[in-house]
Amino acid sequence: MSNTTDNMNVEYIDNAIQKLNTYAKEDSLQALISILDALKQDPHNESLLEKLTDTWRNLGVYQGTVLTYVPDFYTFIPDDIFGDNLKK
């Protein structure tokens, strides 16, 4: 990852997990929630941050669901949230 995020604190991560588990019960979000749960234990783990980014980018339309209930989710992604600036 090009840089790490400063918003990776346990309270903030736990709040996001609670909101997603309460309001967004789509099965497609379980992998994302599992990674967030792992990040609660190790908030600055680069490998988990990469998994979070990859999982986020593969959510498709469910990105909108996540942003509906956790509007500042983008702060968890340490670079371009939508991958628009990825080199091809």
Q: What is the pLDDT of residues 49-78, one digit of tens each?
A: 999 999 999 999 999 999 999 998 988 887
SS3 label, residue 79: coil
77 alpha-carbon distance from chain centroid: 6
| Res 13: pLDDT | 94
| Res 83: pLDDT | 59
| Res 62: pLDDT | 96
Question: What band does 18 get if pLDDT is binned at 50, 70 and 90?
Answer: very high
- Under the phi-then-psi rule, with left for phi > 0, alpha for psi from -120 to 50, and beta for the rest, what region is 83? left
- Residue 50: its H or E element: helix 46-57
Distance (Å, rounded) from C-alpha 7 to C-alpha 64? 20
Question: pTM value?
Answer: 0.82
